[in-house]
A and B are shown apart, each in its own frame.
Chain A
Amino acid sequence: MSESGDEIKPVSCTIKPPVYLHIGETKTDPAHSGVCVVDVTLPFGKPVNVEEITFKNYYTAYLTVRLLRRSPGQEAPSKWSTALRDLPLMDNPHTEGGSQDYYSIHRTQMQVEPDNVTSVRLILRQPSAAWLTFSLEEIKIYPHTEPDPEKEVSDWLSDLTLVDNHPDLEGLPDPQTVSSSLQQMWALTEVMQSNQTTASIGRFDVDGCYDINLLSLT
């Protein structure tokens, strides 16, 4: 997750309904191929630099992420590229492990830079015949935000120079070491004083009363 203080809102995007690929022509005998494609289109005309994609799994075993990126420029063509191939979401496609877990894919995990993305294609695979259906839920795409550039120090400040004071110390300890160790001692006492405990008090009654008639069923 991004470490900035502000809460980053996910980009509003359109998540198309999942398309399950079928083997065979007729709709009467839809043999499940175990592959599903979910297209997520980002707002038209506003390509996004993706920071992170989060979602909740629902019985998908492997995930491939493909990105449609447009190079900056008016007439630049868009190109599809694979950002992540076959990321395992479930340890064993036949069993429950990881089947309903929350995941996030960070831009650092992607094989290509997810900048100027106009569309994201999620290819879901579930090879096991054990499940009736599989998909991803709560898909959210978070944009990359550039950190604030450091404010430049005015030139005139850097012109000031430190004057080194070398007072005549005879038999006295070096002031720097004394002040640093005093700081440590002070920090130690500060820690001792700020004893915030997470321990509970232990009382189960409310002002001495614990008369109960019925348990709440909701």
Chain B
Amino acid sequence: MDGGTELSLSIAHIVQRLKGSHLHSQIERQAKDCLHQPEIKLESLKDDVRSFLKTSGWERKLQNAVYRELHVQLPRSHPTAPPEHLKEPLAYMRKAQASWEKRVLKSLNSMSTELEVPLARMRPAAEQKELANKWNEMGTDEPDLSRFRPVYAPKDFLEVLISLRNPNHDSSEDISARSHWGLIQVPLNVRDIPQLRQAYAELNLTTGQLGIDDHAHIRPDLFESEYVQVGKKVLAEQDSAAAQQYSRQGCPTGLRADLWALILNSTNQPQDVMHYEQLTAGVIQHDLLVDNLIYKDVKLTASNDDYYFVFEDFLYQVLLCFSRDTAVLDHFKYNSATPPKSYIQGKVGDEECAVVYPPNGVIPFHGFSMYVAPLCFLYNEPSKLYSVFREMYIRYFFRLHSISSSPSGIVSLCLQFERLLQTHLPQLFYHLREIGAQPLRIAFKWMVRGFSGYLSTDQLLLLWDRILGYDSLEVVAVLAAAVFAFRAENLMEVTSLASAEAVLADLSTLKVVPLIQIFLFATAI
């Protein structure tokens, strides 16, 4: 297919998706209303309306909406490619994801049977009323969650990734130039430092960065003040693409909330608030087994964290609503995962009674709430917080817990981490391997959570600035390698996995931007 046809198809897809959206009707209304204005002439109707929409800022809003669609667009593919190929092109990865999902579903089914708790049920009226009353303080509830256990933990998932094999891959050669010391054995294409230097050029040593050049000891007029002014201009222009580019050097704390919302094209208009309220109603009406898993996860992780325990109530609200949101099902077109299916009232096979469980198709695992927790520092209005979280999930976070060949997928990130370490710190990698402390076993839990809960919040937000700015999770793998590089001296001294874990247990004092910068731009190649 030539470029012209591909472009037309893309345009047609985006038009189809934006048609009938709230933005569409708003622009129509604006166009209709502007006909009353004197400068709109009948002879040049089309052009005059167009220039009106431009000057009033509506064209920019449309641009942002199109830009957002480009982010969640299906990957370009051949017309004969079946839908499963769009989710994941490699057959053996699809198979591995399917069997992992089956395991998770079996586990959920047996939990439901053993505990005699239905997967979903309608709440009786009295219970609905009670929940509605204490909606804002669900944290005060102390339900008995001891019987519930998380469906899976990151380390279970790691074992699955380690066992991934390409049946067509020749791993018979013991001594080969490309022998890989790490745990991931699939030959995905991951970028090395020279390529990363080109891709992440804005992080180089000579470009100002927030996280380095806004340090208290450095005079603000050298970088910070002007950078903040540029940020304000970007917000005034309301341009998503400009905000994304800006975010590569970091977002100033005061502007970050608005900048992220702009990059994600996350609005908080009446229809968004209404949608959130509809989700709330969904939570109140039906009780799901996964709700207990969410409660348990929040209690075990965020509530125990010094930075995030204050947001406990918000986390319940956002995560419970998230699991009722059928709009999330859209992202399964490009996610290698498939939403679990069930039938109401036991009517198995009756497609009229087929439903998705949970309604958003995402089964939370241990640590899931940590995707939301850092956002609570930026947004204090639940519907806005929800909107931003949902967009971040369907663009980035879903890749951290599904098996795919995507360059931002967790498999690629793990492989990239191991390759970076083996290439640039071979002595360290060899030593850790010898003492039975495979680096990935330590770094995996950081990467699966995007470092949430391991870094201090301000540093985490600086990291997530770059994820948004570069539209990729690669920085997470780079940071993981950089942390090992930073603590290399101590790690060379240890003689067991436990002591290696101890050296890397506390990352809360780390400054991420200098670490990434030094690893990418100051490592000798």
Do A and B come from the same complex? yes
Cβ-defined partner of A94 (8 Å) among B1, B178, B282: B178
Taken together as a complex, chains A and B put the C-alpha atoms of A196 and B17 apart, in Å, by 10
In the complex, what residues of B have CB within 8 A of residue A203's CB? 326
Residues of chain A at interface, number, CB under 8 A? 53
Pairwise interchain contact A103-B45, C-beta atoms closer than 8 A: no
Q: Which of A96, A133, A195, A197: most chain B Cβ within 10 A?
A: A96
B508 at interface (Cβ–Cβ under 8 A)?
A: no
B219 at interface (Cβ–Cβ under 8 A)?
A: no
Give the distance to chain A from B386, nearest Cβ to Cβ, in Å.
14
Pairwise interchain contact B118-A130, C-beta atoms closer than 8 A: no
**Which parts of B97-129 form the interface with A (CB within 8 Å)?**
102, 105-106, 108-109, 112-113, 118-122
Sample of 4 further A-B pairs with CB below 8 A, known A191-B28, A210-B344, A216-B341: A94-B187, A198-B17, A198-B19, A212-B342
**Which parts of B1-29 form the interface with A (CB within 8 Å)?**
1-2, 16-17, 19-21, 24-25, 28
B186: nearest chain-A partner, CB-CB: A96
B205 at interface (Cβ–Cβ under 8 A)?
A: no
A169 at interface (Cβ–Cβ under 8 A)?
A: no
Pairwise interchain contact B45-A95, C-beta atoms closer than 8 A: no
Pairwise interchain contact A96-B85, C-beta atoms closer than 8 A: no
Pairwise interchain contact A192-B32, C-beta atoms closer than 8 A: yes
Cβ-defined partner of B45 (8 Å) among A59, A92, A184, A195: A184
Main secondary structure on A side of the interface with B? loop
B359 at interface (Cβ–Cβ under 8 A)?
A: yes
Taking residues whose C-beta sits less than 8 angstroms from the other chain, chain B's interface range is 35 or more
Give the distance to chain B from A92, nearest Cβ to Cβ, in Å.
5
Q: Which residues of B contact A (CB under 8 A)?
A: 1-2, 16-17, 19-21, 24-25, 28, 31-32, 42-43, 45-46, 77-81, 85, 89-91, 102, 105-106, 108-109, 112-113, 118-122, 166, 168-170, 173, 176, 178, 186-189, 275, 278, 282, 286, 324-327, 329, 340-346, 348, 352-353, 355-357, 359, 405
Pairwise interchain contact A216-B342, C-beta atoms closer than 8 A: yes
Pairwise interchain contact B45-A102, C-beta atoms closer than 8 A: no
**Which parts of A93-133 form the interface with B (CB within 8 Å)?**
94-97, 99-104, 106, 108, 129-133
A214 at interface (Cβ–Cβ under 8 A)?
A: yes
Give the distance to chain B from A156, nearest Cβ to Cβ, in Å.
38
A191: nearest chain-B partner, CB-CB: B28
A199 at interface (Cβ–Cβ under 8 A)?
A: yes
Taken together as a complex, chains A and B put the C-alpha atoms of A100 and B43 apart, in Å, by 54
In the complex, what residues of B have CB within 8 A of residue A132's CB? 168-170
Give the distance to chain B from A7, nearest Cβ to Cβ, in Å.
12
Pairwise interchain contact B353-A198, C-beta atoms closer than 8 A: no
A108: nearest chain-B partner, CB-CB: B2
Cβ-defined partner of B189 (8 Å) among A95, A185, A199, A202: A95
